[in-house]
Amino acid sequence: MSTRSLSKGCFVFKPSPKKRKVSRTTAYYFREGSSDLEDSELRFATCQSLQKQVKSETEQIEEELNEQLFDNLVSFLRRSHSAFQEKKTEWTCRTKSREIPTAALVLGVNVTDHDFTFRSLSEVLQNNVTPYIALLEAKDCPGIKNLMQKLLGQLMNCCIDVDSSEEEDYEHVSRSRVRCSMTTLINWYESATKRTDSETPGKKRTSSRHWQSPPVVVIFKDMESFTTKVLQDFVVISSQHIGEFPLVLIFGIATSPMIIHSLLPHSVSSLLCIELFQSLSCKDHLSTIIDKILLTTQFPLKLSEKVLQVLINIFLYHDFSVQNFIKGFQLCIVEHFHSNPLSVLCCQLEEAKRRVNSLSHNQCENVRRLPSFRRYVESQVSEKQIALLTVDSSLKEAVQKLLEDLNVYHENYFPILRCLHVFTSSLPKYPLGKQIRELHCACLENRVWETEEYESSLQLARMLNKSDLVTMLQKCVEILVSSPGREFDEIVEKLKEFLTQFQKLEEAYQERDESISPQKELQKKTNLYHLQKTLLELKESRRSKKLTKFEMLRFEVVDYIDSLVRHYLVPADHKTLHEIVYFNTASVLREHLNAAPRIALHTALNNPYSYLKAFSTVVTAAEGPTADAASSDQVDDVIHARFIRAVSELELLGFIKPSKQKTDHVARLTWGGC
């Protein structure tokens, strides 16, 4: 495996669940590792299909998110391309210097996500614009020579792909000897475009989707890491020939476009015609992913509050990488299906109901052991209790019903959560968080209506002005109408009724004089200062006179929302059988995703005795299973001697040194680059 890093050291490679999937004996490992053998095959199949679903879904979402950016880029290419084909007789075109069209593509610091973006970008370009695309990376291009080699190699290769096979051998041989100069490139371009032109009448293909004389697009994946000299030379060389073939550069930038000015002096940057393109910020990207993947009923597996928090924290605190977040989610899927025997029921409702019928006795016992189920049993009357605990069939019946309840709960939970978010996201200072994920975490953690933040949110909501309130209610109606929940008709009716009442109120206002206008004006202002002021005034006015009709109605609305929250946003771990669909072992996830190699090494090496033990285990294991040596506590003298000798040798070579402290003896010094 390779790293992006330039420094040497110890690297942690996160286990990728995808890899485990493809290996031949995955199913075997899946069974092997799990403590419980129940339904492992079925679980494995469910897990795999879910993985596949998640993968395709995320890829589609990402495609949609990038669409705008790619459209902009393609239209930029088209513009610069038409400028290339422009008649050169016009005075301005003759007089102004020819610049190389350059797109500065700012992608954000999440370098690990860039690969995906570039891959889909080159796919888009390849499909619609041009077959001639070269992707350059700084680590391949320490000098201008390597850069040109790489560039020519990639461009001419893509030409071979179009070619018939008989030419391939010839091209392949000549490529190694080809002169890496711009002249070669231009000659190649001329012959390549000419060939495709002459071929089109015979075979109908590529040229219809590609443009006439397609531009050559050179993408610098990581602008920051290129050395100044290589970039400068390349720009200067290609600017000499920009009149001869349509070249377009794309700079992939992770930090800020200022880097162009710091890398290239004015004399070089004046050869470029730079336009800026910005991708969606990674935080928005994550929000969309969470919104579309986690906050739907589409996938049966759900994440508990702690697990979600771990994933979000890694994202926000460490890497900003959406890909890693998705990988983390996939790991959760594997881990859940692997460790939880009851996860076999974690699938679509119909399927789950069928599976309940075929549960074995052991599995039924597993169900009985679930804490949430025990709580459920205790709440039942005694005959029912006995039936549930002893008769498998009545248990299965109950489980089916409970699973259905759980499904209904989820169907209602997400739309109501969105409605609540409509309210909380427009309050000043966001007591319950700006993002829906924060609200979701708060709701999962415990009863949200018992928290202080919720209380203050309601307080603030009671001070919303009418136009805001009306738009919010309308949004809520939209959300509820478009969601599949069964119980929403009533709620929608109620909300619509509120809306008509507001409407009537307005008409009544208009009939009356404008005497209330100052108060109305105050209500329009929504920042904190004005809200406070309004609050004070309202308090005074409340003391002096009784509530207006509008205020009454507002209280009613807020109270109604509050009742909805209390009814539908019960935390998931209060629900029976939540263990089946919620993955909640955050510690395992943390161990996998946020390893601490330094601490592990430190504890391992601090204690020479455990070092010796480890050494003897490794040595005896290597020499073959002569089990008696390993089983005895006493370390073999020969091994002991070998250990001491090896340690002193390592010390001599400098890999290990005594730490000069009394308690611990050695400290490894090669941690540095992790």
Partner 1 sequence: MPILEHPAYPPATLLCLESLVPCRESQVSMLLSIFGERQQLSFPSIFIYGHTSSGKTYVMKTLLNTLQQLPHVFVNCVECFTSRLLLEEILIQLQNHSSETRRASPVPCDTFNDFVRLFKQALVSQNLQDQTVLDRAEQLREMEANILPAFLRLQELTDRNVTVILLSEIVWEMFRPNTGCFEPFILYFPDYSIGHLQKILSQNHPPEYSADFYSAYINILLGVFYMVCRDLKELQHLAALNFSKYCEPVVRKEAKERDTRKLWKNIEPHLKKAMQTVYLREISSSQWERLQCEEGELGQIKGLSAHAHVELPYYSKFLLIAAYLASYNPVRTDKRFFLKHHGKIKKTNFMKKHEKTSNHLLGPKPFPLDRLLAILYSIVDNRVAPTANIFSQITSLVTLQLLSVVGNNDQLDGPRYKCTVSLDFIRAIARTVNFDIIKYLYDFL
- Map the footprint of partner 1 across residues 253-312, applying CB under 8 A: 254-261, 266-267, 269-270, 272-276, 278, 281-283
For residue 190, CA distances in Å to 162, 194, 213 come to: 15, 6, 9
Span 415-454, contacts to partner 1 by CB under 8 A: none
- Site mask for partner 1 (CB under 8 A), range 119-158, x = bound: ------------------------xxx--x----------
Concatenate the DSSP letters of all residues of 53-85 into one string: HHHHHHHHHHHHHHHHHHHHHHHHHHHHHHHHH
Work out how close the CB of 21 gets to partner 1 at its nearest, in angstroms, rounded to a whole number: 24
If the CB atoms of residues 508 and 669 are measured against partner 1, the closer one turns out to be: 669
If the CB atoms of residues 94 and 543 are measured against partner 1, the closer one turns out to be: 94
For residue 110, CA distances in Å to 4, 222, 316, 385 come to: 13, 12, 11, 54
Contact with partner 1 (CB under 8 A) among 2, 97, 198, 632: 97
| Candidates 63-71, 95-103, 126-134, 364-372; binding stretch for partner 1 (CB under 8 A) | 95-103
Alpha helices by DSSP H, 24-143:
26-33, 40-85, 91-95, 111-128
Kindly provide the b/e burial profile for residues 395-424, where b requires at least 16 CB atoms within 10 angstroms of the residue's own CB.
bbebbbebbeebbebbbbbbbbbbbbbbbb
Work out how close the CB of 237 gets to partner 1 at its nearest, in angstroms, rounded to a whole number: 5
Span 479-538, contacts to partner 1 by CB under 8 A: none
Tell whether residue 180 is a contact of partner 1 (CB under 8 A).
Answer: yes
In the chain, the amino acid numbered 149 is Q
* Contact indicator for 138, 111 with CB cutoff of 8 Å: no
For residue 559, CA distances in Å to 351, 465, 563 come to: 39, 16, 6
* Contact indicator for 200, 207 with CB cutoff of 8 Å: yes
Concatenate the DSSP letters of all residues of 335-365 into one string: HHHHH-GGGGG-S-HHHHHHHHHT--HHHHH
Work out how close the CB of 189 gets to partner 1 at its nearest, in angstroms, rounded to a whole number: 16
If the CB atoms of residues 302 and 306 are measured against partner 1, the closer one turns out to be: 306
Work out how close the CB of 238 gets to partner 1 at its nearest, in angstroms, rounded to a whole number: 9
Work out how close the CB of 140 gets to partner 1 at its nearest, in angstroms, rounded to a whole number: 14
Tell whether residue 160 is a contact of partner 1 (CB under 8 A).
Answer: no
Strand-strand pairing, 100-106 and 247-253: parallel
- Site mask for partner 1 (CB under 8 A), range 579-608, x = bound: ---------------xxxxxx---------
Work out how close the CB of 231 gets to partner 1 at its nearest, in angstroms, rounded to a whole number: 13
**Residues paired with residue 247 on neighbouring β-strands, in sequence order:** 216
Tell whether residue 222 is a contact of partner 1 (CB under 8 A).
Answer: yes
For residue 320, CA distances in Å to 112, 231, 255 come to: 9, 28, 13
Site size with partner 1, rule: CB under 8 A: 83
Alpha helices by DSSP H, 241-370:
258-263, 266-269, 282-289, 305-313, 322-339, 349-357, 361-369
Alpha helices by DSSP H, 545-607:
549-568, 578-581, 586-593, 597-606
How far, in Å, CA of 589 to CA of 403, rounded?
26
Contact with partner 1 (CB under 8 A) among 7, 25, 631, 661: 7
If the CB atoms of residues 191 and 467 are measured against partner 1, the closer one turns out to be: 191
| Candidates 92-100, 159-167, 335-343, 402-410; binding stretch for partner 1 (CB under 8 A) | 92-100
**Residues paired with residue 158 on neighbouring β-strands, in sequence order:** none
Residues 6+ apart with CB under 8 A from 581: 300, 301, 302, 346, 406
Work out how close the CB of 641 gets to partner 1 at its nearest, in angstroms, rounded to a whole number: 27
If the CB atoms of residues 542 and 598 are measured against partner 1, the closer one turns out to be: 598
Work out how close the CB of 80 gets to partner 1 at its nearest, in angstroms, rounded to a whole number: 7
Tell whether residue 85 is a contact of partner 1 (CB under 8 A).
Answer: no
Tell whether residue 237 is a contact of partner 1 (CB under 8 A).
Answer: yes
Span 22-81, contacts to partner 1 by CB under 8 A: 79-80
Tell whether residue 630 is a contact of partner 1 (CB under 8 A).
Answer: no
Span 320-359, contacts to partner 1 by CB under 8 A: 320
| Candidates 233-241, 331-339, 349-357, 381-389; binding stretch for partner 1 (CB under 8 A) | 233-241
Tell whether residue 319 is a contact of partner 1 (CB under 8 A).
Answer: yes
How far, in Å, CA of 658 to CA of 669, rounded?
10
Work out how close the CB of 329 gets to partner 1 at its nearest, in angstroms, rounded to a whole number: 17
Work out how close the CB of 131 gets to partner 1 at its nearest, in angstroms, rounded to a whole number: 25
Tokens of 627: 């089990």
How far, in Å, CA of 479 to CA of 476, rounded?
5
If the CB atoms of residues 99 and 392 are measured against partner 1, the closer one turns out to be: 99
Span 541-580, contacts to partner 1 by CB under 8 A: none
Work out how close the CB of 583 gets to partner 1 at its nearest, in angstroms, rounded to a whole number: 21
* Contact indicator for 103, 248 with CB cutoff of 8 Å: yes
Report how far Cα 652 is from the mean position of its chain's Cα atoms.
47
| Candidates 1-9, 26-34, 532-540, 610-618; binding stretch for partner 1 (CB under 8 A) | 1-9
- Site mask for partner 1 (CB under 8 A), range 652-671, x = bound: --xx-------------xxx
If the CB atoms of residues 282 and 444 are measured against partner 1, the closer one turns out to be: 282
